A and B are shown apart, each in its own frame.
Chain A
Amino acid sequence: MASISTQQGLAKEIRNAVNLPPIPWTERYFSLLWGVIGVLGCLLLWQIGAATGLLDPLFVSSPVEVMRTALSLIPSKEFGVHFVSTVQCLFLGLLIAVIAGVFFGLPLGWFATLHATFEPVIAAVYGVPYIAFLPVIIMWTGIGVTSRVIIVVWSAVFPLLINAIQGAREVDDNYLRVGRSFSATNLQLFFTIALPSSIPYILAGLRTSIGRAIVGVVVAEFFMSSKGLGYFINLKANSLEMAPAFVAVVVLALFGIALVSLVTYIENRFCKW
């Protein structure tokens, strides 16, 4: 069996033999190239707008101004405190959401009775925007870390729960038959077949959850915190300091992209089947 590396080697050899031109870099990095052009183009329009006075710099700042602010703001201790506070809340919430989503989701998908019983409840709760529960949560737990983490969990748990349920429900019959043929017990079928075959579903859910968790943490910090990037954005925007507010927004966006990339990496590395 030829391995992939030798297949690539072979392709190269063939190309050399028939003297094909190499693939130009504009073609190889096609989507990356145009993606960068798109982002830079938007920033350029923004800068031009602000410089010509078409957009009011008081409200929209400008890319150059945001960049300059970022260089001094991001290393500062004040910003660090906000960032760490947000990240702690985010990670704690996501961790609880993953554990809860998998712990409840897999059995809910595996046992038909549990699924039939709780499906309507989950659908109903999922349908209500969690923001609607904000005052209720504040009543329950006050304004503090607990209430913020609850919001993050609430916002992040559903994609995980629903995907774990889906994963446990759609286990391939062929695989279950293998387990049964080796006279596996129901518990063994669950742990050796349903659980591993659900992992791709759970990771896909986690990727959706990350984005929702970031929304959750920012919303929570708007309303019930004196720390965190959400609080910081609110504070700065209210005092018309747009540049620092935009810096925080960009940091949040980049952090989200990094987290999602990490999950994708884990997926490719450990679920290569």
Chain B
Amino acid sequence: MSKKIVTRNVSVIYRGKHDREPVLACNGIDLVVEEGAFVSIVGPSGCGKTTILYAIDGLLSINGGEILVNDKRITGPGIDRALVFQSASLLPWRTVWGNITYGLKLHNGLDQERLAKIQSLIDLVGLRGFEKRYPSELSGGMQQRANLARALAVDPDILLLDEPFASVDAQTREKLQIELTQIWQRTQKTMLFVTHDIAEAVFLSDKVVVFSARPAEVRETINIDIPRPRSLETKLSPVLQGYVKRVWNLIDAPS
């Protein structure tokens, strides 16, 4: 399997707005994400998980090391990668349809073939019938479906997901997790998923990368050996619970 994303010794210094002190958010991050894999990053909140994700997307410039996507050093955002944001990122003046097609419109890519694909994408994420709604008219779960569809619409190789289910209710979250694994299996995208929910990370992933508190460093990488397809029962299985405990101990351990 080829390596889709490689970060080598990546450090990011995060500068807040105005004259706030610069903070070392990520310190020497080494990551490898194979093509078609589902990899999660977990770590204490505020540790710099989102920072490394933004850096891989090209939104933040790095202060050390290098990031390779498809064996090429990245210099900025590109449509080989798409980001699913945490929340409140749908453009409120665009309908669901307008939001999902936003990325394509920026690149003049709205031909007939793409339009047909968008319709099937809307079916895939379960938004049929909601195309003309505005984001404010949708529930949190529906908003995140649209958010996911917007990222998938540009047909990227890699999907970067920044705690996409953090702000939806627990039941919807479980449902969306299962749907996400189905979408992943159907589209064969490479997924890099950031979360602070350990059970979510273990349930979804082939590999879980555990980050330390800020400045983020990779504590350990754990391969999740649970057969697929995984269901709600998998979530309650002792094997999964064992992994959750292991990750929890790693995060909790003193550095």
Contacts and interface: CB of A to CB of B under 8 A. Distances in A.
A137 interface: no
Contact of A183 (B89, B91, B105, B106): B106
A177 B93 contact: no
- Where chain B touches its partner, the secondary structure class is loop
Nearest to A193: B91
B5 to A, nearest CB: 16
A182 interface: yes
A183 B92 contact: no
Interface string A172-208: 1011011111111000100011001101000000000
- Where chain A touches its partner, the secondary structure class is helix
Nearest to A273: B92
B115 interface: no
Interface stretch (B36-44, B133-141, B164-172, B221-229): B133-141
A273 B93 contact: yes
Contacts of A177: 59, 85, 89
Give the one of B85, B91, B103 with max A CB within 10 A. B91
Interface string B160-194: 00000000000000000000000000000000000
A174 B85 CA distance: 9
Contacts of A183: 58, 76-79, 106-107
A179 B135 CA distance: 17
A188 B106 contact: yes
B210 interface: no
A181 B77 CA distance: 6
Contacts, number: 60
Interface string A74-117: 00000000000000000000000000000000000000000000
A121 interface: no
Contact of A182 (B94, B102, B139): B102
Interface string B196-235: 0000000000000000000000000000000000000000
Contacts of B88: 172, 174
Contacts of B57: 181
B154 interface: yes
A182 B77 contact: yes
A192 B102 contact: yes
A251 interface: no
Contacts of A172: 88
A177 B160 CA distance: 14
B104 to A, nearest CB: 9
A172 B102 CA distance: 17
Given A1-B139, A174-B88, A199-B93, A179 B134 contact: no
Interface residues of B, number: 28
B6 interface: no
Contacts of B29: none
A181 B82 contact: yes
A271 B77 contact: no
A28 interface: no
Nearest to B91: A175
Contacts of A182: 77, 79, 82, 102-103, 106-107, 154
B85 A178 contact: yes
A175 B107 CA distance: 17
Interface in B88-141: 88-89, 91-94, 102-103, 105-107, 134-136, 138-139
B152 interface: no
Given A178-B85, A182-B154, A273 B135 contact: yes
Give the one of B92, B134, B139 with max A CB within 10 A. B92
A202 to B, nearest CB: 13
Contact of A178 (B76, B78, B91, B134): B91
Contact of B83 (A181, A196, A272): A181
Interface string B235-253: 0000000000000000000
Contacts of A273: 92-93, 134-136
A183 B102 CA distance: 11
A197 B91 CA distance: 9
Interface string B51-82: 00000011100000000000000001111001
18 contacts: A1-B138, A174-B89, A177-B59, A177-B89, A181-B57, A181-B82, A181-B83, A181-B85, A182-B103, A182-B106, A183-B77, A188-B106, A192-B106, A196-B91, A196-B93, A199-B93, A272-B134, A273-B134
Interface of B: 57-59, 76-79, 82-83, 85, 88-89, 91-94, 102-103, 105-107, 134-136, 138-139, 142, 154
Q: Which 7 A-B pairs have the closest CB atoms?
A: A273-B92, A182-B103, A183-B77, A196-B93, A181-B83, A273-B134, A174-B89
